[in-house]
Amino acid sequence: MEFINAAKTEGLPKIVIQNSYSLLLRCKFEVDLVEVCHPNNCNVGLLCYSTLAGGALTGKYLDPESEASKKGRLQLFPGYMERYNKSISKEATTKYIKMAKKH
């Protein structure tokens, strides 16, 4: 908020927030930052990255023996984005895929 105010005071460009944001990782933005992005508040832009959760939301990591899973970065680089391997994200991904196929 101080940077937004300083930019406004000094006539500098408005900031844009860059955050990881996907169906599997929403809370950092939605709990902490969504208010500053609202047009009625500061109207700060959001530049999302990892919108497919490092590829986890594609479903390719659900079968660890599949060729896509073996070649994927979550398997190639141990520890990389491990929040998608060591959480309930696989269960959530399974449910999202099922819902997507249904609709």
Q: Are 66 and 77 in contact (CB under 8 A)?
A: no
Res 27 pLDDT > 80? yes
| 18 and 43 housed in the same domain | yes
Segment 39-51 shows an average pLDDT of 92
Percent of the chain beyond pLDDT 70? 100
| 84 and 46 housed in the same domain | no
Q: Are 36 and 29 in contact (CB under 8 A)?
A: no
Distance CA 81, CA 42 (A): 31
Res 67 pLDDT > 80? yes
Q: pTM score, two decimals?
A: 0.75
Res 89 pLDDT > 80? yes
Domain final residue, candidates 10, 33, 51: 51
Q: Binning pLDDT at 50, 70 and 90, where does residue 77 land?
A: confident
What domain range is 21 assigned to?
A: 1-51
| 27 and 70 housed in the same domain | no
Segment 86-101 shows an average pLDDT of 91
Distance CA 56, CA 64 (A): 12
